[in-house]
Copies of this chain bind each other. A is one copy, B any other.
Amino acid sequence: MKPLDFKVNGFLFSGISAGIKKDGKRDLGLIYSEVPARVAGLFTTNAVKAAPVRIDMERIKGGFCRALIVNSGNANACTGRQGLRDAQRMSYHVAKGLGIDEKRVLVSSTGVIGTPMPMEKVEEGIPNLIERLSRDGWMETVEAIMTTDTFPKVEVSTCRIKDKPVKLCGMVKGAGMMRPNMATMLSFLVTDAGIKTSLLQGMLKEAAETSFNRITIDGETSTNDTVLILANGKAGHSLLDRMDRDGKIFQSMLSKVCEGLAKAVVKDGEGATKFIEIFVKGARDHEDAKKAAYAIAHSPLVKTAFFGQDANWGRILCALGHSGARINPDRIDLFFDKVPIVKRGMGTGPLLEERASQVIKKKAFKVIVELHQGKSQFSVYTTDLSIDYVKINASYRT
């Protein structure tokens, strides 16, 4: 297998250590498109929005983007008017250094909330960042967005659109996984496809629905969550403007890349030792399936049991009972992978429980809930809750 190649036509990348992080690791990154790229984005629904999020939400309305500056180590959230000024100033220096319109520069931050941006370090770093820009710089930028991530999370894919080769690269930084929604997730995607902004926005939303939104809960996101896609059209095909055959090809690629990134976030969940899919089927409607799946995925008692490799299915039924989904406890079936552990609301006995215990000793497994109430289903990806999760989050700022 040859190493992954993250070069994308017309894009340059860089990442440096500007001294925002205490440990001297890379903390400032830049993505630059040689030509104006069409841009689409999804942002946190948290009422408390970080300064860069507020700026980006406004700027992507312009439809185009030339550069994206990103930092880790400081979220620039709950920083008031000074925070907005600082985020703007970051974009100003990038625009000035690159000779482009400031309105075409986006900003993204992740890290500690409530501390003013160390602007001196940032401003000192930006010229170096610009100087280092290169076709091969992708992994530097990836490193620059990492916080508690233990490995870089990237995806790359190619397809052909109107007989032209098209490439898509994606990066994501992870999040605390007990409630993935509460720690920042940033994901940036770049492609040389040419896609009309409104179509691109729809495609990103569709892709997120089956990826990033499967590891988070509606309306419960961090102050900084951001997903951005830049499409600069350098592949040379005529602009995609509707969901025709070519549109579907790109959508499929985008959805797959986003799914890969989302799953990587779960795998690298803080302290996670297990990758668990919660699959609820037979629900009365989609909303019920979702409620049931999230009630299980968010239950600390279920998650600690998985960490302890204890097939404590009672806690799963208990979570279903207070999920708000319409259930009949006496009709619920439960499987760990293919092993039936609950039939009609009751345990299937020690022999099958023993087999189920073997399943949850694995690194990855599936919990399947059959509610027998209807035909709706929903999947969510999650992790266990480990001792390390607590350790990581108890000492995050120290």
Contacts and interface: CB of A to CB of B under 8 A. Distances in A.
Interface of A: 45-49, 75, 77-80, 112-115, 176, 178-179, 181-183, 219-223, 299-301, 304-305, 307-308, 310, 312-315, 317-322, 324, 327, 329-330, 342, 344-347, 385-387, 389-391, 393-398
Contact of A300 (B114, B300, B344): B300
A45 B176 contact: no
Contact of A396 (B113, B179, B305): B305
Contact of A395 (B301, B308, B329, B398): B308
Nearest to A45: B322
B386 A322 contact: no
Total copies of this chain within the assembly:
2
Interface of A, secondary structure class, is: loop
Contact of A322 (B219, B301, B395): B219
Nearest to A328: B47
A320 B395 CA distance: 22
Contacts of A182: 299-301, 315, 318-319, 322
Nearest to A224: B318
A235 B318 CA distance: 41
A327 B47 CA distance: 8
A150 to B, nearest CB: 18
A395 B77 contact: no
B48 A324 contact: no
Contacts of A317: 48, 77-78, 113-114, 223
Contact of A397 (B48, B312, B322): B312
Nearest to A184: B318
A329 to B, nearest CB: 4
A313 B390 contact: no
Nearest to A315: B113
Contacts of A330: 80
Contacts of A79: 346
Point out which of A300, A307, A313 has the most chain B C-beta atoms below 10 A from its C-beta. Answer: A300
B397 A391 contact: no
Nearest to A82: B346
Contacts of A114: 313-314, 317, 342, 346-347
A183 B393 CA distance: 24
A113 B318 contact: yes
Contacts of A299: 179, 182
A39 to B, nearest CB: 25
B387 A48 contact: no
Given A113-B315, A178-B300, A221-B322, A390 B387 contact: yes
B390 A46 contact: no
A11 to B, nearest CB: 32
A321 B390 contact: no
Nearest to A319: B182
Given A48-B317, A182-B300, A390 B386 contact: yes
Contacts of A318: 46, 48, 77, 113, 182, 222-223
Contact of A391 (B46, B49, B344, B387): B387
A390 B394 contact: no
Nearest to A343: B80
A398 B310 CA distance: 8
